[in-house]
Amino acid sequence: MLCRLGGRWLRPLPALQLGVRVPPLAPTSTGAIKHSALPAWAVASVSAVGSGGPGSWYEALAASAPVQGAEEVLLGVHTATGLPWWACIGLTTVALRGAVTLPLAAYQHYILAKVENLQPEIKNIARHLNQEIAIRANQLKWSKRAARLTYLKNMRRLVSELYVRDNCHPFKATVLVWIQFPMWIFMSIALRNFSTGATHSEAGFSVQEQLANDGILWFRDLTALDSTWILPISVGVINLLIVEIFALQKTGMSRFQTYITYFVRAVSVLMIPVAATVPSSIVLYWLCSSFMGLSQNLLLRSPRFRRLCRIPLTKSDSDTPYKDLFAAFYAKFISRT
């Protein structure tokens, strides 16, 4: 087809090729052109890549493979058990926590126990190295800065050799965080997709409609907010309990550990208003996850369970951990009032 421009006949330029084959537009019975429908995940992916808006990163994350995997896990549990959705969310949380995070938490305590048992040897090495550096610095007329740098360099090397010898580098204790936090994010986004109607079950029934009728107690509609704030406050309280148990277990925390403790406390409190703005299905998952985290922390204080997991004994271990925890809790929060 030619067009006339400025006295000349020109042929229009071909359409830009975007790497996507666009299907032809089909006329309807009324003569209007009807656009082909795209699946929801395709629309989300295209808008996430092409829009560049503030929500594009979230759309890409919501349509990502890990989130889709979390959706398949939830749908699989619901299909296999036939339980209502509130029970499926709780059962899935317990299963994931028990099968994934509990073994990793036990491994974390195993590494930290071995690192704690190395501290007397590390202190002994530091004392001897400090004496040797002082002698060498006096012989070779080193400056204080040069002696300090030499001490730190050799101390790092010797401590690293100890970690390699006992296979207990502290970085291994962070594996739990690198797995637990992404899993928490993916499960939360998957439940949000369900609650907003972005995902449908294989049988053709809307998961959103199922969630709206599969609640319990005061939160019958799992797609709605908890107007009573019972679930959000419960999440915040349990998270604070976890933080306080950790703080009571540690004696003589460093300044950095103290700052981290205060930061986590603030996050736990801020989670309350955040939880009040998301569907009840997500808050229920957060509550179940936090409750399992609290139970997990208490279980890992049991001497019998620690022996079962072959966690080495340390100087700070107690034969009566729960009695000691209650006494510390009472002294810090109750006896002061």
Q: What are the pLDDT digits (tens) for 162-211? A: 999 999 999 999 999 999 999 999 999 999 988 887 766 555 568 888 88
Whole-number pLDDT of residue 337: 57
Which of the pair, 255 or 41, is modelled with greater confidence?
Answer: 255
Cα 31–32–37 angle (5° rounding)?
Answer: 130
Is the pLDDT at 49 greater than 90? The verdict is no
d(CA 293, CA 208): 28
Strands (E), the chain: 3-5, 8-10, 26-27, 33-34
pLDDT mean over 40-45 = 39
Query: What's the confidence (pLDDT) of residue 129?
Result: 92
* Strands 8-10, 3-5: pairing kind: antiparallel
The closest of 119, 203, 112, 192 to 159, measured between CA atoms, is 119
Q: What is the pLDDT of residues 284-325, one digit of tens each?
A: 999 999 999 999 999 999 999 999 999 999 888 888 888 888
What confidence score (pLDDT) does residue 54 get? Answer: 52
Q: In whole numbers, what is the pLDDT of the chain averaged over residues?
A: 81
Of 283 and 31, the structure prediction assigns the larger pLDDT to 283
User: 50 is written with which tokens?
Assistant: 């092409």
Task: Return the axis-axis angle of helices 230-249 and 255-275, rounded to nearest 10°.
Answer: 170
pTM of the model: 0.76
Contact at 8 Å (CB) between 239 and 297? no
Res 213 pLDDT > 50: yes
Question: Domain boundaries in the chain?
Answer: 65-113+171-334
- N-to-C CA span, the chain: 88
Q: How far apart are CA 265 and CA 268, in angstroms?
A: 5
pLDDT at 44: 42
